[in-house]
Structure 1
Amino acid sequence: MASVLAWIDHDAKARERTLRILSLFQEKESRDELGLGSVRDSFADKLFPGTSTIQTRLRYMLFVPWIYHSLEEKRLPADRFAIQADSMERELLQPLMNSDDQAGVFGKTAGKKLKRLPSSVYWAGLGAWGIRLTPFSQEEYHRRIDDTYRRRTALKVLEKDAKTRGDDIDVELRRATQSWHRSLPEPPDHFPQNAEFALSRQEAEFIKDRIRASCPNSLLSSLILHGKPADVYAPWEHPDYGSFSDHHKELLTHARLFSEVMHGASLSYNIQLARIIKRNQLVSEHEERFDGWIKSLPLEEIRSWSTSRLWELTMGHGHVIKPSTRTFIEQWINQTRVSAKNLLSNTTAMSLVKKREMTLKGPRSRFRNRRALEQRGGYSGVGRLVYRWPNVKVFLNDLYQGMKQEEKC
């Protein structure tokens, strides 16, 4: 029987959480066989709010509101609104594929048959950066658009009456009728037929201002003030690390150590599964990776690492880290501290990883379900956690290129 994930459509927040869970199954960095995602995402959201690993290019942060704003300007009714928005998003594909820069095009492989549109991928980020003002989920926004039009009509009447009396309209009342930031730049002529990823100077300035205003304490906000982006593997390798704030340095230190130590648990998981199906070449490959991990492991730092501070930095703030997750992580850290080089012969450490996956996956556990084991490609979460940094690098480069453009008079 196929697995089904469903939810009762009570409120926008619940729906957004469910859509986020669904999106995780598609994210490159989310092969979360050992249930580390809550800690990973907590770090990523603090460092780079509004981003995700399935976002591709920065200008989609403008493509989406441009499309919706144009439909609002036409007062397209709710029964046609979502359909027309869907059509316009798919129209982005061809001009982007005809441009010189095709990296990160949604639908590059699937074409207009793509199942997930950019708007659903960028919706949360648009809200986090204050570009999207409507508080509703995407579907609820579609459904409520007629009500939005009515409230705007009513506001015009109030504004006219207030002007007659010499009064001002309450700012919050006006804001409640707005779906998108009032300073959103105008789209280029003939959009979306001439869409491309290059930002204009005005567009880059707008996005920069939105990030700084909405996420002022984030590393993302700090990095947009720097010059040319750094092409490094992880954010803690950034050449300007020395000038980062103490808060950002602390976050990155804990994020780095968490990435380093839990990488060993992921490698142990892959080795154990490869041994079960007796794929000797795969076993050797993973064991070689494990040896490399041992050699590069900052063991002294890990032994003096304050895990209590790790939880202070990651728990709460919109992220729920279950007690079982915390226990597993602490037990693995302790096993690593005792003797990292013996983890593959340490039955307690090996069993810890095995039991964790079995608890999370139940009957679909690859340790107890032969079919699930044989269907896997042999690599699950073998990359170190870098907290969406590859996507952030692309965004920073897009922004930098836009800031270099000549400002139009």
Structure 2
Amino acid sequence: MPSSLAWIDHDSKARERTLRILSLFQEKESRDELGLGSVRDSFADQLFPGTSTIQTRLRYMLFVPWIYHSLEEKRLSAENFAIQADKMERVLVQPLMDSDDQAGVFGKTAGKRLKRLPSSVYWAGLGAWGIRITPFSQDEYHRRIDETYRRRKALKVREKDAKARGDDIDVEQRMASLSWHPRLPTPPEDFPSTVSFALSREETEFIRDRIQVACPDSLLSFLAMHCEPADTQAPWEHPDYGRFSEQHKELLTHARLFSEVMHGASLSYNVQLARLRNHEDLVAEHQVSFDEWTANLPLEEIRAWSVSRLWELTMDHGHTITPQTRSFVQQWIDHTRKSPSDLLSNAEALTLIKRREMKLKGTRSRFRNQRALEQWGGYSGVGRLVYRWPNVKVLLNDLYQGMNREEQC
């Protein structure tokens, strides 16, 4: 029986997590082979809430609500709502491909036949930033749109009666009847037939305000409000790091050390698989990467690192970090602290990696399934953890360009 991934229909967070997992299968360098995703995502969600590794450009945060709001304005029924939204999202592909900036276009290769629509990728982020007000999952929102129309109609009647009596309007009820933020900028007149990723100044200010209000204590908010874009490999390398709050510095320090240490575990995994495949060139390549890792490891910092504080900072932030995960991480850290250069000859350290992967993958483990080993591409999870920073950099650059743009786009 083929394996599958699914989400509960009313759980938009579960849907986003599933899409994130699916995206990893397409990115050989960032696959979570050793089950570190819960820790990684806890850091990422605290630092950069509303973002994901499958978001590409910032203006999709407006494209999606513009499409849905236009369908609501037409009072399109639930029967046709999802169908028309699907069509409109696919219409976006060609105008974006005709623009001067094609980087990050959904459907760049597949065209209108794209399988993953922007709305499914941005839905959680739109909620996290307060642009989407409806609490429903995307599918539930589609199904309940007729109910939304009826609720708004009933509210208008109550507000009319209240006005006649001289009573105040119930602002909370009015907000609860909305699907999208009331200050959502209006789309360009020719949307979606002519469109680009260039944000207008008004659109940029709206998004920046939403981030500031919805995620005021995040590093994302600080960067959006106070910093110019920085083309660094990781967020802790940002030139304005010295201006970050102590809270952000502490979070980034633990995120950096976690990334440094667990990178070695991923390299060990690849070395072991290459050995198992008797692929001498791959063994040599991964061995070189491992030697570089040990040579540059901040060992004194790692030996002084409070792992208990790591769990205090990452647990209970919307991600379940199991006791098994914590035990695996602690044991690998302990081995690393003793002698990182001996990890590829340390039987206990090698077995730790092997057992972890076997526990996670079961019968699909590359250590016990010959076919799975043969299908291994040679690189699994060899990229360092940088907590969505490559995607965040693009979003922040779009924001910065919009803030410095005078004319409407």
TM-score by length of 2: 0.97
Where in structure 2 are the equivalents of 1:292-331 lying within 5 Å? 292-331=292-331
Q: Supply the distance in 2 between the matched residues of 1:103 and 1:285 (Cα, whole angstroms).
A: 31
Matched residue, 1:200: 200
Structure 1 stretch displaced more, 169-178 or 199-208: 169-178
The Cα of 1:219 is off from its aligned counterpart by 0.1
Matched residue, 1:231: 231
Task: Please say if 1:17 is aligned against 2:9.
Answer: no
Residues 137 and 151 (structure 1), Cα distance of their counterparts in 2 relative to 1, 3 Å cut: same
Q: Supply the distance in 1 between the matched residues of 2:172 and 2:126 (Cα, whole angstroms).
A: 20
Q: Which runs of 5+ in 1 are unaligned?
A: none
Q: Secondary structure at the match of 2:225?
A: coil
Where in structure 2 are the equivalents of 1:5-404 lying within 5 Å? 5-6=5-6, 9=9, 12-13=10-11, 16-27=13-24, 28=27, 30-404=30-404
The Cα of 1:5 is off from its aligned counterpart by 3.5
Identity %: 74
Q: Supply the distance in 1 between the matched residues of 2:342 and 2:400 (Cα, whole angstroms).
A: 46
After the TM superposition, which parts of structure 1 deviate over 4 Å for at least 4 consecutive aligned residues?
A: 6-9
* Conservation of the 8 A alpha-carbon contact between 1:202 and 1:407: no
The Cα of 1:109 is off from its aligned counterpart by 1.0
Q: Supply the distance in 2 between the matched residues of 1:359 and 1:46 (Cα, whole angstroms).
A: 28
Q: Supply the distance in 1 between the matched residues of 2:108 and 2:8 (Cα, whole angstroms).
A: 33
Letter in 2 for 1:25: L
The Cα of 1:376 is off from its aligned counterpart by 1.6
Q: Supply the distance in 1 between the matched residues of 2:193 and 2:333 (Cα, whole angstroms).
A: 53
The Cα of 1:111 is off from its aligned counterpart by 1.3
Deviation digits for residues 118-177 of structure 1, max 9, x if unmatched? 000000000000000000000000000000000111111111111111111212111111
Q: Secondary structure at the match of 1:224?
A: helix
Q: Secondary structure at the match of 2:401?
A: helix
Residues 202 and 143 (structure 1), Cα distance of their counterparts in 2 relative to 1, 3 Å cut: same
* Conservation of the 8 A alpha-carbon contact between 1:24 and 1:30: no
Q: Supply the distance in 2 between the matched residues of 1:169 and 1:91 (Cα, whole angstroms).
A: 39
* Conservation of the 8 A alpha-carbon contact between 1:260 and 1:384: yes
Q: Supply the distance in 2 between the matched residues of 1:166 and 1:407 (Cα, whole angstroms).
A: 43
The Cα of 1:7 is off from its aligned counterpart by 5.6
Residues 206 and 22 (structure 1), Cα distance of their counterparts in 2 relative to 1, 3 Å cut: closer
* Conservation of the 8 A alpha-carbon contact between 1:358 and 1:365: yes
The Cα of 1:21 is off from its aligned counterpart by 2.4
For these two proteins, the number of residue pairs brought into alignment is 405
Q: Which runs of 5+ in 2 are unaligned?
A: none
Deviation digits for residues 163-215 of structure 1, max 9, x if unmatched? 11111121211111100000000000111111100000000000000000000
